[in-house]
Amino acid sequence: MRPDTATRATRASTPSPALQDRYDDVRAATMALAAPLSGEDCALQSMPDASPVKWHLAHTTWFFETFLLVPSLLAYAPFDDAFRVLFNSYYNSVGDRYPRPQRGLLSRPDLATVCAYRTHVDAAMRALLARGLATDVAELVELGVHHEQQHQELILTDVKHLLSHNPTGPVYRAGWPLSAVRPQPLAWHRYEGGVVPIGHDGNGFAFDNEGPAHRVMLAPYALASRPVTHGEFADFIADGGYKRPELWLSLGLDAVRERGWRAPLYWSREDDGRWQTFTLHGFVEIDPHAPVCHVSYFEADAFARWAGARLPTEFEWEHAARNVEVDGNFVERGALHPLACAGDATAAAAAPGQLYGDVWEWTSSSYAPYPRYAPAAGAVGEYNGKFMCGQYVLRGGSCATPRSHVRATYRNFFPPDARWQFSGIRLARDV
């Protein structure tokens, strides 16, 4: 997911106590994620693609202030006028923005002030939510809640990236090892294809890039019964995977060479040849049974070629996941790392395992608008389509995603060289 993306809901939701509860729950969940972190942890930025935790805390709040409170709550007084610019992500129609690569240069406002900002806005939001809201306003609240859930995942991936630079090996949450499950042999689930429905049907919340619903022609295909594991990826490395040009896309080979990639992000080889990785639980030995994560699209694609398979299209993935319950290793489980498949991963299972949670699964589909897609009017929808170039779609959510945030139609997207998300590999093949 593009970190700052916030798009408009496609249909109305009714204002209700449920919405108030959901607002409160999501806002509290954000604070809980920041709880183990100091002001210094929250202020630093490790790369232009990542933002300081403090910035996430403030920007999600800015969203409610800018798009809900200022337009809809007559008596509302902004917390600090400077925040309008400081915490705007990319909304040109809202005005100027503080440069993204410099978000880590803001020691002020400090963390305590940002928390006060959250409290100030929450109080006003509660006043607003206590009213009967017009449908479009209620939709914006729901959008803001989903927007904040996106940033919850980014808080985890961004602080992981930051802490990984610290040779003292900071631990965000102590809890390793996570499980001792051994993975089942990889099996294949077959789909007949044909003309199948794709996209969100308008029943409940969805981002607008999930629609319009339409039909797509699929050839018969098969999906792997579980994601590729750390151990399987270590085999790829041991087989010279990073050194064999024939396995790589041309741009992927460029990335391997220019950046010196020899393994997924966060992996390092110990003197005895074993692989270690940095997790939110600190530096640990890799669990060979857990799904591999922190691979780029290029690495996912090369692995698939090495394995004699390919990545699925986003349509193949969605078709397979359409009737599968959204359940799995999400952020609420607390593992904060992918887990070995504990369920049935044989071909006899009703569906492939771990479609949801654990790792975002790279698809071979470049991120593009669905037929007849049109961005919504106004600031929140101003740029819905502007990121539809140079990115690939990922599906299914990860161990850092809130469970209520994901759907079968959900389209996450990142550039093919991005590795700091919990991104993994689901194999597919023609049948």
**Positions in the binding site for a copy of itself (CB under 8 A):** 38-41, 43-44, 46, 82, 85-86, 90, 92-93, 98, 102, 104-111, 162-163, 165-168, 170, 195, 214-217, 219, 245-246, 248-253, 298, 301, 364, 366, 368, 371-372, 382-383, 385-390, 416, 430
17 versus 167: smaller Cβ distance to a copy of itself: 167
Q: 188 vs 288, which CB is nearer to a copy of itself?
A: 188
DSSP readout, 308-338?
T-BPPPHHHHHHHHTTS---SB-GGGS--S-
Q: Which helix (H) or strand (E) holds 190?
A: strand 188-191
Closest separation in Å from C-beta 333 to a copy of itself: 26
Gyration radius from the chain CA atoms: 21
Given the complex with a copy of itself, which of 329 and 364 has the nearer CB atom? 364
Q: Toward a copy of itself, which CB reaches closer, 53 or 121? A: 53
Q: Beta-strand (E) ranges in 255-306?
A: 267-269, 275-279, 282-285
Nearest distance, CB of residue 211 and a copy of itself, angstroms: 13
Closest approach, Cβ 26 to a copy of itself, in A, equals: 26
Show the CA angle centred on residue 182, arms to residues 238 and 280, nearest 5°.
75
- Crossing angle of helices 53-64 and 111-129, in 10° steps, is 30
Q: For residue 331, report the phi and psi dihedrals to the nearest 5 degrees.
A: -60, -30
- Cβ proximity to a copy of itself: between 123 and 251 the closer is 251
Q: Least distance (Å) from a copy of itself to the CB of residue 80?
A: 8
Q: Which is nearer to a copy of itself, 106 or 324 (CB)?
A: 106
Place of tokens 């809890």: 175
In whole angstroms, how close is the CB of 260 to a copy of itself at the nearest point?
A: 14
Report the nearest approach of a copy of itself to the CB of residue 90 (Å): 8
Using the structure block, give the residue that is written with the tokens 């902004």.
78
Q: Please write down the long-range contacts of 85-93, taking CB distance under 8 Å and 24 or more positions apart.
A: 86/58, 87/55, 87/58, 87/59, 87/61, 87/62, 88/59, 88/62, 89/3, 89/4, 89/59, 90/4, 90/383, 91/66, 91/379, 91/380, 91/382, 91/383, 92/382, 92/383, 93/378, 93/379, 93/382
Closer CB to a copy of itself, 167 or 185, in the complex: 167
Query: Smallest gap, in angstroms, from Cβ of residue 277 to a copy of itself?
Result: 19
How many other β-carbons are positioned within 10 Å of the β-carbon of residue 319? 23
The letter for the amino acid at 315 is F
Nearer to a copy of itself, 75 or 377 (CB): 377
Q: Which of 5, 3, 1, 4 is nearest to 376 (CA)?
A: 5
CB of 252 to a copy of itself, least distance (A): 7
